[in-house]
Structure 1
Amino acid sequence: MEIPVYLFTGFLESGKTTFIQEALEGPDFNMGERTLFLLCEEGETEYHPSKFFGTNVFFETVENEEDLSEELLVSLQKKHRVERVIVEYNGMWGLDSFYRAMPAEWLTYQEMMFADARTFLSYNQNMRQLVFDKLKSAELVVFNRCDRKKMDEVDEEGVSTKMQFHKIVRVANRKSQILYEYGENDVEMDTIPDPLPFDTEQPVITIRDDWYAEWYRDINEDQQKYDGKVLHLKGRLVNGGDIPKNKFVFGRHVMTCCVEDIQFAGLVCKWTDEAASFGNGDWVTVSAKVRIEDDPVYAGEGPGPVLYCTEVKKAAPAVPEVATF
């Protein structure tokens, strides 16, 4: 049986508890389903189960990140014979710890991230990796305790606080909705447009060196948009090992969050046996047509973008060599 999971993330005093309490007090979110409530942190605000619309809510506390395991979660599911799960997650824990522990029948129905607007920039400056971790898969990001005057203030570069929030979210996640809460019944949805810096309708889509990170994310998130399109861009060529002579992996190192997060982001390329004449790691420019299809490199992930190259030339390294958003 499929078990829906509602995951609420964010740091202490970000408004998670208040939101969940109000949701459980109404019939729209709480019709009496047997609900396992996993508490992974304790803030200053307490829950009041007596006010819940439905009473079949069973609280269980997980005190340490290392305690999260599939065995524990399965045992709690059986103990309470639950129909769904609510998780108030600890902002200092990595989300992968929870996802690795999730039983196979548990399915994330919604993931929401909450942040206190008064402290968000400070958290992002001092604990950027943890902030990025919570933003990257959130469907909705809620900024609580916003002040309209402060949100419109600009820094020395002329960027408003609201735009800073928007950009931080978008680096991690282009799809999440963003909500600003100014007070009771006073909320605003983020409507700032996020156009790509390149035109995907051009006969040849040319990707500048400083656009690589955005292009790589977009081609993976919206593969069909690129099917049949022609590209021209620069990256590094990876060959040798088990890779056939007429194939190579093309990509660049990308930093999505911080230095510790740098990883190689590449795609499969098909060309001729001449690919084997290049050195592993050489910088090249490629002209290629995209096809979305299965490839052994993408095994287990389904079809992916494969670049059918018409031209591959040696090139000077990109500046900077590590791509960023």
Structure 2
Amino acid sequence: MRDIPVFLVTGFLEGGKTTFVKEIFNDPEFVEGENITLIVCESGIEEYEQDFLNKNNIDIVYINKKEGLTYSFLNQYNEEHKPSKVVLEYNGMWQYDVIENLHMPKGWEIAQVITPIDASTFESYMNNMKSLLIEQFKDSDLIIFNRCKDDTNKLKFRNSVKAINARANMIFELENGEIDDRPLELPFDINSKVIEFKDYDFGAWYLDSLESPAKYEGKSIKMKGIASINPNYPKNIFAFGRNAMTCCEDDISFLGILCQTNKPFKFKDKEWIEVEGVLHKKFIDYEQRDIPFLVVTDYRSIDKIEDELVYF
């Protein structure tokens, strides 16, 4: 039996869940040749028209009480209708542990957790219903802030989410439905005496330093990561960085930069350390480009950080 992907859509009522689900159903690559089951756990202003469901070969099931979302119900439905894909639009007022403790029918696997959030109410919910809102996105793979305005503080929203769920990807959608792809400000102060950032922002710094190594020339920095020792490196040279997950657990790679010390280092390969040093750019002939290079002024051994992976 092949796996049946389950796309879990979480979020509060009127947060844009139904609109998002309709958008993915309008994607021919998502619906073509599929027998899709849509499980709806709440009803909002936006509804699913029967013509729309028929056109896309979608069976809809309404579950009005959390007690009705059970293995026995889902398994019976699975045996009778044999869906090839499932979209579950979850009720944001139900505790998330209903999902966490739910035993899925054989073959059903949660492929992605998506959380649409109304940007116009996000700060209010974070101030007044924080724990309930966090339940909606703490395990999300993708968070869509919809109804954004030109002055929406995207960096603040992003940092609020990353502090809870470092691996989440985020999309900001304007009120007219277009994606706001304007770059965010850097989540750290590049002009501070010593550049420091949250552990989950290593990836943001790493990508920016690779893209624009010249702007970090002579900058002091302090950061946590893994030391990688290679016997083929010149004396007092090691690599420093973090392991990154770009799409799945099978796609983990090391993101690192070369570091130089003025005396032999005492740490072991793959040891977690915190380094301080000065960044410089170094031209690599075979790549015909500059790369960042760290001259280490100090380091210390540390415990592995809680969330050791970098996510994109």
Per the normalisation by structure 1, the TM-score is 0.58
Q: How far off its partner does 1:22 sit? A: 2.9
Structure 2 equivalent of residue 176 of structure 1? 168
Distance 2:255 2:56 in 1: 47
Which range moved further: 130-139 or 48-57? 48-57
Query: Where does the alignment leave 5 or more consecutive residues of structure 2 unmatched?
Result: 188-200, 203-221, 229-243, 257-267, 275-299
Structure 1 equivalent of residue 66 of structure 2? 65
Distance 2:20 2:127 in 1: 26
Structure 2 equivalent of residue 296 of structure 1? none
Q: How far off its partner does 1:114 sit? A: 0.5
TM-aligned CA distance change 1:73 to 1:29, over 3 Å: same
Q: How far off its partner does 1:230 sit? A: 3.3
Calculate percent identity across the aligned residue pairs: 31
Distance 1:179 1:185 in 2: 12
Distance 1:105 1:190 in 2: 40
Q: How far off its partner does 1:223 sit? A: 10
Q: Deviations over 1:209-268 (max 9, x none)?
A: xxxxxxxxx9xx9898899433479xxxxxxxxxxxxxxxxxxxxxxxxxxxxxxxxxxx
Is the CA contact 2:147–2:177 (under 8 Å) kept in the aligned structure 1?
no
Letter in 2 for 1:93: W
The CA RMSD over aligned residues, in Å, is: 3.6
Distance 1:190 1:89 in 2: 31
User: What does 1:111-130 align with in structure 2 at a 5 Å threshold?
Assistant: 111-130=113-132
Is the CA contact 2:25–2:56 (under 8 Å) kept in the aligned structure 1?
no
In the alignment, structure 1 residue 198 sits paired with structure 2 residue 223: yes
TM-aligned CA distance change 1:288 to 1:183, over 3 Å: closer
Matched pairs, number: 219
Q: Deviations over 1:116-140 (max 9, x none)?
A: 1111111122221222222122121
Is the CA contact 2:224–2:273 (under 8 Å) kept in the aligned structure 1?
no
Distance 2:73 2:136 in 1: 23
Structure 2 equivalent of residue 141 of structure 1? 143
User: What does 1:245-284 align with in structure 2 at a 5 Å threshold?
Assistant: none
Distance 2:255 2:25 in 1: 40
TM-aligned CA distance change 1:38 to 1:121, over 3 Å: same
Q: How far off its partner does 1:79 sit? A: 2.3
Query: Where does the alignment leave 5 or more consecutive residues of structure 1 unmatched?
Result: 152-160, 204-217, 234-285, 291-304, 306-325
User: What does 1:6-17 align with in structure 2 at a 5 Å threshold?
Assistant: 6-17=7-18
Is the CA contact 1:9–1:89 (under 8 Å) kept in the aligned structure 2?
yes
Which range moved further: 14-23 or 187-196? 187-196
Structure 2 equivalent of residue 89 of structure 1? 90
Letter in 1 for 2:119: A
Counterpart selection for 2:178 from 186, 193, 197: 186
Letter in 1 for 2:164: A
Q: How far off its partner does 1:54 sit? A: 4.2
Q: How far off its partner does 1:66 sit? A: 2.6
TM-aligned CA distance change 1:64 to 1:90, over 3 Å: same
Is the CA contact 2:36–2:86 (under 8 Å) kept in the aligned structure 1?
yes
In the alignment, structure 1 residue 106 sits paired with structure 2 residue 98: no
Distance 1:31 1:175 in 2: 30
Is the CA contact 2:9–2:113 (under 8 Å) kept in the aligned structure 1?
yes
Is the CA contact 1:231–1:288 (under 8 Å) kept in the aligned structure 2?
yes
Q: How far off its partner does 1:26 sit? A: 3.7
Is the CA contact 2:113–2:142 (under 8 Å) kept in the aligned structure 1?
yes
Letter in 1 for 2:178: D
Distance 1:190 1:72 in 2: 45
Q: How far off its partner does 1:71 sit? A: 1.2
